[in-house]
């Protein structure tokens, strides 16, 4: 063992990557010789490599934010590792590096960050080397700016099983819709904008195969994609048929194979139960740690569950975080003991290599044969439905299917189906709720709220249908439809009255991470000529907001266009004021649960008062939601929160009524006073 410096030196110089070690302030403690040589060769500034210089100061402004964020996340311990793609620019070109950030203990109590920089190959692509490409062993294709196929070699064509002529000119996401939302999809969108290259490995579930994929921006404005099967992965060698039916991680049957096995067991007519298990926080574990740890946890859970099964019983992996167990039992005995053992597995923390043990919560739903159904498909759906019921409870919980759920299920299926159809025809529309400045009586803004009078089910609460749309992925269809209607409405009213108030639209967490949604939003704003300063998006506190780089990029893109961002339901989620510092948030919406404590709970009143003071002090706008009583409005005004939304002023109104009340008499001050019932009340009080 040598000194700490010698140990660092040894560690760094044995790596193939270039390495830079920073202290908590971003000052360079050590640079590997390879990195120093590289910087010297490319005449990069000393700030990028020299010991005692501040590394952050040597970066370009656009890179500084990303790097600082990565360093801070590592130092705070909120992530164990971070990777990003960054170009290093020279006079007339750039090299691209994949940079990995990890924590590093510099000395006793002194934490730093180590950066591993791995160069990424650039693939120059133009027509002159097409011949070379054709003869390459990798499958290769090219996409134009609209992501339409414009070239593919015969290897790619035979891999897809689609003739070259058929693919050329068609859009990749339309031909392969199941690629939406994959890392590959996200990377393509990213590279299309950033015009760089990236190499990564991706698991393609439809073929149960890993691929090494290289995507690079082409000179003609599109992308070139190379891909090759990665045979070495996981050491699993299964024949083609077996591959297609087995989950690579657990080795369990996938949905298709499980259904076949279930049919076979049904033929034996012995009683059994299905336990449908959803790992509640698994997605968050993947986001918080990384996929390797996620995979490790999944494998351990599967192995523990497998120990509970007899050789005659079976299990399957239905989806990303959903498992199913089939437990045979006597008709009368039921499955109480078995389900207790399953729940025990989720009560214990799972030990992991190199990091602390993690507890995974599970929601478990159970259906039984022959009590509930003798159809394999129905038994799975019923167990899933019971699982959804269990999910409503906090922490790990368990729910047994009962006939009442059948009604819920039918209702849900009707809603699911209608959500993917023509929404106007099925009674979908919107209402507008004003936000009023309680001092001037002026209209400060308006929130769009979806409404649905379903032809068969009658009025459905937005809480119910938004939730289903979010879970089933139809939320983008619904929001696209809503934006079209609302923007066309705003457009017509601007033409007629010359103005329209700032309009807030609710955006769910899954849309926040979708570049497609934001492209759609910008496209529709353009189409209807909507001034960006009239639009506000309302987002809620959620894990995506905290940890997703993609969300941050999307929100920054909104800001850059002039669209403002409001943080909805403040006071119900994590409620961390850190959001206000880290995210581009213009406005806070104080939740109704805060407001309704006014007059009842002095402690909550004190918290609310200081919160309002703080929000005002950082120049963030604010709205109080769910203001129902004049006494609440008085308290809010005195505390410094002047804009209110709530039944005291108006319920969400049909658009025509909103126009009549708020747009027709906009410049009439007496009308403004009329708008504010609270002002009239207070005036009478103080008179």
Q: Which is nearer to ligand C2E, 243 or 449 (CB)?
A: 449
Q: Which of 610, 617, 626 is nearest to 572 (CA)?
A: 626
* Structure-token pair, residue 233: 């992965």
Q: Which is nearer to ligand C2E, 294 or 434 (CB)?
A: 434
Closest approach of Ca ion to the CB of residue 638, in Å: 23
Closest approach of Ca ion to the CB of residue 448, in Å: 9
Q: Which is nearer to ligand C2E, 224 or 626 (CB)?
A: 626
> Binding-site residue total for Ca ion (CB under 5 A)?
5
Residues 103-132: x where in contact with Ca ion by CB under 5 A, - otherwise, as a string:
------------------------------
Tell me the C-alpha distance between 684 and 686, whole Å. 6
With CB under 5 to 8 Å by kind, the binding choice for 614 among ligand C2E, Ca ion, none is none
Query: What count of other Cβ atoms lies within 10 Å of the Cβ of residue 484?
Result: 16
Closest approach of Ca ion to the CB of residue 435, in Å: 11
- The three-class DSSP label of residue 402 is coil
Choices 17-25, 93-101, 244-252, 537-545; region in contact with Ca ion by CB under 5 A: 537-545
Residues 20-59: x where in contact with Ca ion by CB under 5 A, - otherwise, as a string:
----------------------------------------
Q: Which of 380, 359, 353, 361 is nearest to 369 (CA)?
A: 380
Q: Which is nearer to ligand C2E, 22 or 475 (CB)?
A: 475
Q: What φ, ψ does residue 180 adopt, rounded to 5°?
A: -55, 135
User: Binding residues for ligand C2E, per CB under 6 A?
Assistant: 433, 449-450, 461-463, 466, 482, 506, 508, 568-569, 592, 626-628, 645-647, 652
Q: Which is nearer to ligand C2E, 246 or 450 (CB)?
A: 450
Closest approach of Ca ion to the CB of residue 582, in Å: 21
Q: Which is nearer to Ca ion, 544 or 568 (CB)?
A: 568
* Structure-token pair, residue 516: 């497609």
Q: What φ, ψ does residue 137 adopt, rounded to 5°?
A: -80, -25
Closest approach of ligand C2E to the CB of residue 521, in Å: 13
With CB under 5 to 8 Å by kind, the binding choice for 294 among ligand C2E, Ca ion, none is none
List 247, 280, 389, 568, residue binding Ca ion (CB under 5 A): 568
H or E stretch covering 608? helix 602-617
Choices 188-196, 363-371, 567-575, 649-657; region in contact with Ca ion by CB under 5 A: 567-575
* Whole-angstrom Cα Rg for the chain: 29
* Structure-token pair, residue 410: 């039918």
With CB under 5 to 8 Å by kind, the binding choice for 650 among Ca ion, ligand C2E, none is none
Is-contact 433 446, C-beta < 8 A?
Answer: yes
Q: Which is nearer to ligand C2E, 467 or 493 (CB)?
A: 467
Helices (H), 423-530: 462-472, 475-497, 509-512, 515-527
Closest approach of ligand C2E to the CB of residue 597, in Å: 14
Q: What φ, ψ does residue 450 adopt, rounded to 5°?
A: -75, 145
H or E stretch covering 684? helix 677-686
With CB under 5 to 8 Å by kind, the binding choice for 646 among Ca ion, ligand C2E, none is ligand C2E
Tell me the C-alpha distance between 365 and 335, whole Å. 12
Kind of pairing between the strands at 397-400 and 362-369: parallel
Q: What φ, ψ does residue 259 adopt, rounded to 5°?
A: -60, -40
Is-contact 366 386, C-beta < 8 A?
Answer: yes
Tell me the C-alpha distance between 542 and 512, whole Å. 10
> Quick one: CA torsion of 388, 392, 397, 399, rounded to 10 degrees?
-50
Tell me the C-alpha distance between 216 and 506, whole Å. 35
Q: Which of 314, 294, 175 is nearest to 253 (CA)?
A: 314
Tell me the C-alpha distance between 435 and 438, whole Å. 9
Is-contact 148 183, C-beta < 8 A?
Answer: no
Closest approach of ligand C2E to the CB of residue 655, in Å: 13
What does each C-alpha distance from 177 to 159, 172, 193, 319 come to in angstroms?
A: 17, 8, 21, 17
With CB under 5 to 8 Å by kind, the binding choice for 626 among Ca ion, ligand C2E, none is ligand C2E
Closest approach of ligand C2E to the CB of residue 395, in Å: 24
Q: Which is nearer to ligand C2E, 288 or 542 (CB)?
A: 542
List 485, 536, 544, 569, residue binding Ca ion (CB under 5 A): 569
List 506, 546, 639, 676, residue binding Ca ion (CB under 5 A): 506
With CB under 5 to 8 Å by kind, the binding choice for 384 among ligand C2E, Ca ion, none is none
Residue found under tokens 């940079």: 99
With CB under 5 to 8 Å by kind, the binding choice for 476 among Ca ion, ligand C2E, none is none
Q: Which is nearer to Ca ion, 415 or 567 (CB)?
A: 567
Q: Which is nearer to Ca ion, 316 or 626 (CB)?
A: 626
With CB under 5 to 8 Å by kind, the binding choice for 546 among ligand C2E, Ca ion, none is none
- Site membership for Ca ion, residue 541 (CB under 5 A): no
Q: Which is nearer to Ca ion, 384 or 569 (CB)?
A: 569
Is-contact 463 490, C-beta < 8 A?
Answer: no
With CB under 5 to 8 Å by kind, the binding choice for 462 among ligand C2E, Ca ion, none is ligand C2E
Q: Which residues bind Ca ion (CB under 5 A)?
A: 506, 538, 568-569, 625
């Amino acid at each position: 063992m040598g000194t700490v410096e010698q140990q660092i030196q040894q560690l760094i110089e044995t790596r193939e990557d270039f390495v830079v070690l920073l202290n908590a302030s971003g000052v360079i403690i050590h640079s590997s010789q390879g990195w120093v040589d590289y910087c010297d060769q490319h005449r990069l500034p000393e700030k990028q490599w020299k010991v005692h210089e501040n590394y952050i100061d040597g970066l370009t402004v656009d890179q500084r934010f990303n790097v600082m964020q990565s360093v801070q996340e590592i130092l705070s311990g909120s992530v164990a590792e971070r990777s990003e793609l960054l170009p290093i620019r020279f006079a007339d070109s750039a090299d691209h590096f994949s940079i990995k950030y990890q924590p590093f203990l510099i000395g006793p109590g002194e934490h730093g960050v180590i950066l591993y920089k791995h160069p990424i190959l650039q693939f120059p692509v133009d027509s002159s080397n097409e011949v070379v490409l054709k003869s390459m062993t990798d499958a290769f294709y090219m996409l134009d700016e609209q992501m339409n196929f414009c070239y593919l070699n015969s290897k790619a064509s035979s891999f897809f099983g689609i003739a070259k002529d058929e693919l050329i000119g068609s859009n990749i996401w339309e031909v392969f819709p199941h690629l939406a939302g994959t890392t590959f999809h996200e990377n393509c969108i990213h590279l299309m904008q950033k015009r760089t290259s990236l190499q990564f490995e991706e698991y393609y579930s439809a073929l149960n195969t890993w691929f090494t994929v290289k995507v690079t921006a082409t000179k003609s404005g599109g992308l070139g994609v190379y891909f090759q099967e990665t045979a070495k992965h996981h050491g699993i060698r299964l024949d083609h048929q077996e591959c297609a039916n087995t989950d690579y991680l657990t080795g369990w049957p996938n949905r298709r194979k499980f259904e076949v096995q279930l049919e076979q067991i049904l033929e034996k007519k012995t009683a059994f139960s299905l336990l449908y298990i959803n790992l509640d926080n698994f997605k968050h574990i993947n986001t918080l740690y990384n996929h390797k740890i996620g995979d490790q946890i999944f494998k351990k859970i599967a192995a523990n569950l497998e120990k509970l099964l007899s050789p005659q019983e079976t299990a399957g992996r239905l989806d990303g975080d959903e498992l199913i167990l089939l437990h045979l039992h006597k008709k009368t005995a039921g499955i109480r003991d078995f389900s207790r053992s399953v729940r025990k597995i989720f009560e214990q923390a799972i030990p992991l290599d190199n990091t602390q043990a993690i507890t995974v919560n599970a929601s478990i739903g159970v259906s039984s044969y022959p009590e509930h159904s003798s159809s394999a498909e129905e038994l799975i759906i019923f167990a899933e439905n019971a699982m959804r019921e269990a999910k409503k409870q906090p922490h790990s919980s368990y729910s047994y299917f009962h006939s009442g759920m059948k009604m819920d299920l039918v209702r849900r299926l009707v809603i699911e189906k209608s959500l993917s159809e023509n929404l106007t025809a099925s009674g979908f529309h919107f209402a507008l709720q004003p936000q009023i400045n309680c001092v001037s009586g002026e209209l400060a803004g308006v929130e769009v709220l979806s409404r649905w009078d379903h032809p068969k089910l009658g009025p459905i609460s937005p809480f119910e249908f938004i939730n289903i749309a979010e879970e089933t992925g139809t939320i983008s269809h619904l929001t696209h439809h809503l934006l079209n209607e609302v923007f066309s409405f705003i457009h017509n009213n601007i033409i007629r009255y010359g103005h329209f108030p700032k309009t807030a639209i609710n955006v769910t967490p899954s849309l926040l991470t979708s570049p497609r949604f934001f492209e759609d939003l910008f496209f529709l704003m353009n189409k209807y000529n909507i001034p960006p300063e009239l639009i506000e998006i309302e987002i809620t506190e959620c894990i995506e907001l905290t940890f997703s780089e993609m969300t941050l990029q999307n929100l920054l893109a909104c800001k850059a266009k002039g669209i403002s961002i409001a943080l909805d339901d403040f006071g119900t989620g994590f409620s961390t004021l850190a959001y206000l510092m880290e995210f581009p948030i213009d406005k806070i919406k104080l939740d109704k649960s805060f407001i309704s404590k006014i007059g009842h709970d002095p402690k909550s009143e004190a918290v609310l008062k200081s919160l309002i003071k703080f929000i005002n002090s950082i120049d963030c706008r604010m709205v109080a939601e769910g203001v129902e009583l004049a006494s609440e409005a008085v308290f809010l005004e005195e505390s410094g929160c002047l804009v209110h939304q709530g039944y005291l002023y108006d319920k969400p109104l049909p658009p025509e009524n909103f126009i009549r009340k708020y747009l027709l008499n906009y410049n009439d001050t007496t009308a403004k006073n009329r708008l504010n019932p609270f002002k009239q009340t207070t005036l009478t009080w103080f008179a």
